[in-house]
Amino acid sequence: MKTLDLFTTAVANTFRAKTRTILTILAIFVGAFTLTITNGLGTGINQYIDDTVTSIGAEDVMTVSVTPDADSGFGASSGPTEYDPDAVSSGGFGPNEGGTVVALTPDDLDTIAEVDGVLSVEATKSITPDWIQYGDGTQYVTSVGGLVTGQSVQLAAGAEPDAASDAFELDLPISFVEPLGFADADAAVGETLTIAITDAERTQHLVDATIVGVAEESVAAPGAGGLVVNAALTDSLYDTQNIGLPDDQLERYAEASIRFDPAATDADVTALKDNLADAGYTGTTVADQLGTVKTVIDAIVLVLNAFAIIALLAASFGIVNTLFMSVQERTREIGLMKAMGMGSGKIFGLFSLEAVFIGFLGSAIGAGIGMLAGTAISSVLSGAVLADLPGLTLIAFDPLSITVIILVVMAIAFLAGTLPAARAAKADPVESLRYE
Amino acid sequence: MLVVMKTPIIRVKDVHKSYGRGPNRFDALKGVSFDINEGESIAIIGKSGSGKSTLMHVLALLDAPTSGSIELEGVETSTLHGKSLNQARNKTFGFVFQQFFLTANSSVLENVMLPMKISGVKRSERKQRALAALEQLEMADKAGNKAVNLSGGQKQRSVIARALVNNPRIIFADEPTGNLDTATGAVVEDILFNLNREHGITLIVVTHDEDLAARCDRRLYIRDGLLVTDTTEVAA
C-alpha cells in the first residue's frame, strides 16, 4: 500500500465509528484547548514584559548606585542607622526607590567609568518640580525623567523630545492630557507647559517648555510615568533646582546609568555586575527588575500546563480505548487485508496513523477554538479590568508554540495508538478469518 | 504422443500441521501430498474438523506447515518472507469466502479496489480495473452502493470481482455457496467455473457440498488430517 493510500484510508477509517471518534476527539480537545490558553497566557504576559523592557530601555543600560554598607541596609541591623552626610534621597526607578542611598560623587563616576566593561557613565539627574500647569488651569504634581540613548517612548501622539535640540521639549503622559485641559492627545502637541521648580534658597522658578508628544502609560515607562524631557530642559531644570546649593553639595547623584557592549551575553553582564560589586557599586538592568516577575509568571504557566497535560493523558487513554474497539471490530478486515498480502508494518501504520489523525483533529480544533476564545477573552478584559495596562494582550499566541502543542498532542496520540496498532499488526489472518 | 512435463502450480509434499504442544497437541494435517496443475479445478472435501480448512490456509500461505514443503510455481514457499510472501499472496491468490468479508459501510467499488490498494496500483487504474471486473460480473450498476445493502448473491459476486481484480493465478473459494440459496448458489458456481474454463484460473474449492464438488475436475477427500481419495476425472 502506498503511503498516500495508507494515509487516506486511515483518515477514512477514523470516521467509520463517528460517535466514538467524536467523543475521543472531544477529550483531546479539552486538553489541547487548556494547553493553548495557558500557553497563550504565558506568551501574552511575557510579551508585554518584553515590550516594556524595550521601551524602558536599551538593553545595554544598567543603573548603578553605591552598595549600602551591610549595617545600614533595610533590616540588616536592628540598631539605629548612623548618619551619613553623603546620603541623598533616591527618586529614580531602582531597587532603592523611595529610600535614601549613599550619593555618587564625581569621583565615584570616574571609578565606575574605569570598571571593566563599562563604556560610558552618565549621572542620573534627579529633578523634583513643584507642579506643572497649562495656561491658567489646575496645577498638578509630577515627576521628571530623561531618555537614555536607545530608549524609546510608546507614543499616543507627536514625537519624542529631541535630545540634540536647544529648545525645551517634553513628552506628556497621556493621563495628564484631560486634567490639564486638553481636548485630546493630538491637541496637546505643540502647546506650552509651565513647570514650577523651587531652588535651594526656597525661591520658585517657572520654566516654559513645548509639549512635543504624548506618551502611553505602561508599567515601566521612561521617566517613571512622569514627564519625559530632553537634555536641554533637564540641564536647565537641574541648574535651576541647584541654585544656592553650597559647592560641596553640588554634583551628588542618587544613581548613574552606565552603558555596556550591546552584544554582551548574560555571562558578560553578570561579570560586569561582579566587577561593579568589587568596586562597591550595585548594577541593575531593566531585565533584572522585571526578571522576577517573569520567573513567577513562567512558574504559574508551568503549573497550568501540567494540568493541561494531565487532561491530555486522560484523553490518550480514550484513544487507546477507541482504537482497541476499532481493532476488535475490524478483526475480519485486518485478517482479509493480511491474506491479500498487506504487511504487518503497514497494518501497524494504518492504525497508528488513525491515532495520530485523531490527535491532530483534537489538537487542531482545540488550538483553533482556544485561540478564538483567548483573543475574545483578552479583548474583553483589556477594555475592562486591564484598561490601566494599555498594550497588554493577556492571552497572545505565537505560531511556534501552537505548532509545538499540536505536534506534542499528535506524539501523545501516536504513543497511545501503538498498543492497539501492535495488536492489529500481530493478528493472525487464519484466526481472524475463522468463523463458525 | 508428446508428454510435456509442466511444473505444477502447487506441489504439496508430506505436509504436517499441528496446533498446541504436549498433551494438548492436535494434528490437523498428518502428512498430505499432491500436485495441482495450472488451470485445474479442484474440490477439497471433508467434514468439519477433517483438516480441509487448515489445508486451504496452508495452500494459501496464510499459515506455515509444521513440516513438509509447499512449492508455489516451483518455488519453495518456506523461503518466502515478509515482502516476497506478501507479494506472492497479493499477485497469485484471490479469495472467495462463505462469509463474504466485505467492509459493510464502504461502497462495492471501494471493496473491489482493496487488493489493488494494497499492491499499490495507481488510483485511476484501480478504479478502471475494478469497474471492468464488476462489469464482467454484471455488477457495474451497483458499484456505488454500500456493500451492506446488497443481496447475498450480489455480495458474493462483489467478492468474486474483488478476487479477480488482481488477475490471480489461483482462486481459493471456501464454501462459496454456503450462505446462498440454491438458485443464487448455482449462478455463483457458474461464474467460478467459467473463470476456470475461459481464463484458465486454477480454482480450489473447499466444500462439503457433494454437488459442487462433482463439478470440479478433481476431488480430494480429507479425513482426520489425511488425504483419503484423490479422484482425477478422466477427460473425455
Of B89, B103, B123, the CB nearest to A341: B89
| pLDDT tens track for A124-175 | 777 888 888 888 888 888 888 777 666 677 778 888 888 788 888 888 888 8
pLDDT value, residue A205: 87
Out of A59-68, A131-140, A158-167, A268-277, least confident range: A59-68
Q: Does A18 touch chain B (CB under 8 A)?
A: no
Q: What part of A 313-332 touches B (C-beta under 8 Å)?
A: 332
Q: What is the DSSP string of A13-57?
A: HHTTSHHHHHHHHHHHHHHHHHHHHHHHHHHHHHHHHHHHHHHH-
Domain ranges of chain B: 10-230
Q: Is the pLDDT reported for residue A354 higher than 50?
A: yes
**pLDDT for the residue numbered A58:** 58
Q: What is the pLDDT of residues A357-374, one digit of tens each?
A: 999 999 999 999 999 999
Q: Does B101 touch chain A (CB under 8 A)?
A: yes
Pairing mode, strands B202-207 and B170-174: parallel
pLDDT reported for residue B147: 84
The predicted pLDDT at position A87 comes to 63
Distance between CA atoms of residues A54 and A48, nearest Å: 10
Per-residue pLDDT at A73: 44
Instruction: Give how far B103 is from chain A: nearest CA, Å.
Output: 7
Interface of A with B in 343-402 (CB under 8 A): 343, 346
pLDDT at position A224 over 70: no
* Spatial contact of A258 and A283, defined as CB atoms under 8 Å apart: yes
Q: Is B114 on the interface with A (CB under 8 A)?
A: yes
* Local confidence pLDDT in tens for the 236 residues of chain B: 455 557 788 888 888 888 888 888 888 888 888 888 888 889 999 888 888 888 888 888 888 888 888 888 888 888 888 888 888 888 888 888 888 888 888 888 888 888 888 888 888 898 999 888 888 888 888 888 888 888 888 888 888 889 888 888 899 988 888 888 888 888 888 888 988 888 889 999 998 888 888 888 888 888 888 888 877 644 43
pLDDT digits (tens, 9 = 90+) for B14-32: 888 888 888 888 888 888 8
Whether residues B86 and A16 touch (CB distance < 8 A) is answered with no
Band of pLDDT at residue A88, cut at 50, 70 and 90? low
Calculate the average pLDDT of chain A. Answer: 81
Nearest by Cα to A359 from A303, A320, A401: A320
The pLDDT value given to residue A218: 61
Task: Give the Cα separation of B216 and B42 in Å (integer).
Answer: 5
Domain ranges of chain A: 3-54+292-433, 66-284
Q: SS3 letters for chain B? A: CCCCCCCCCEEEEEEEEEECCHHHCEEEEEEEEEEECCCCEEEEECCCCCCHHHHHHHHCCCCCCCEEEEEECCEEHHHCCHHHHHHHHHHHEEEEECCCCCCCCCEHHHHHHHHHHHHCCCHHHHHHHHHHHHHHCCCHHHCCCEHHHCCHHHHHHHHHHHHHCCCCCEEEEECCCCCCCHHHHHHHHHHHHHHHHHHCCEEEEEECCHHHHHCCCEEEEEECCEEEEEEECCCC
A1 with B83: Cβ contact below 8 A: no
Residue A216 has pLDDT above 70, yes or no: yes
CA atoms of A256 and B233, how far apart (whole Å): 113
At B64, the amino acid letter reads: A
Asked if B89 lies within 8 A of A340 by C-beta distance, the reply is yes
- Measure A305 CA to nearest chain B CA, in Å: 41
Distance CA B76, CA B12 (A): 10
Phi-psi sector, B11: left (phi>0), alpha (psi -120 to 50), beta: beta
Percent of chain A scored above 90 by pLDDT?
11
B100 touches chain A (CB under 8 A): no
What pLDDT score does A415 carry?
92
Which one, of A148, A172, A179, A143, lies nearest residue A158 by Cα? A172
How far from chain centre, in Å, is Cα A279? 32
Give me the residue from B95, B98, B120 closest to A339, CB to CB: B95
- Would the pLDDT of A85 be above 70? no
Tell me which chain B residue has its CA closest to the CA of residue A343.
Answer: B86
Which has the higher per-residue pLDDT, A171 or A79?
Answer: A171
A17–chain B Cβ distance below 8 A for any pair: no
Range of lowest pLDDT (A109-118, A204-213, A341-350): A109-118
A16/B60 touch (CB, cutoff 8 Å), yes or no: no
Q: How far is CA A296 from CA A42, A291, A293, A341, in A?
A: 10, 9, 5, 58
pLDDT at residue A55, rounded to an integer: 65
A430 shares contact with chain B (CB less than 8 Å): yes
For residue A340, give the nearest of B82, B83, B115 by CB distance: B115
| Partners of residue B118 in chain A, C-beta under 8 Å | 1, 337, 340-342, 346
pLDDT of the residue at A75: 46
Identify the pLDDT of residue A93.
44
Which pLDDT score, from 0 to 100, does residue A176 have? 85
Question: Least CA distance to B82: which residue of chain A?
Answer: A343
Mapping DSSP to helix (H, G, I), strand (E, B) and coil, where does residue A391 land?
A: coil
CA closest to A347 among chain B residues? B118
CA-based nearest residue in chain B for residue A350? B118
Residue A6 near chain B (CB below 8 Å): no
A411 and chain B: CB distance < 8 Å anywhere? no
Per the DSSP assignment, residues forming a β-bridge with A328 are: none
| Integer Cα distance of B97 and B57 in angstroms | 12
Distance from the Cα of B52 to chain A's closest Cα (Å) equals 13
Cβ distance of B115 and A430 shorter than 8 Å? no
Residue A340, min C-alpha distance to chain B (Å): 5
* Intra-chain end-to-end CA distance of chain B, in Å: 17
Write the CATH number of the domain with boundaries B10-230.
3.40.50.300
Cα gap A214→B113, rounded to integer Å:
72
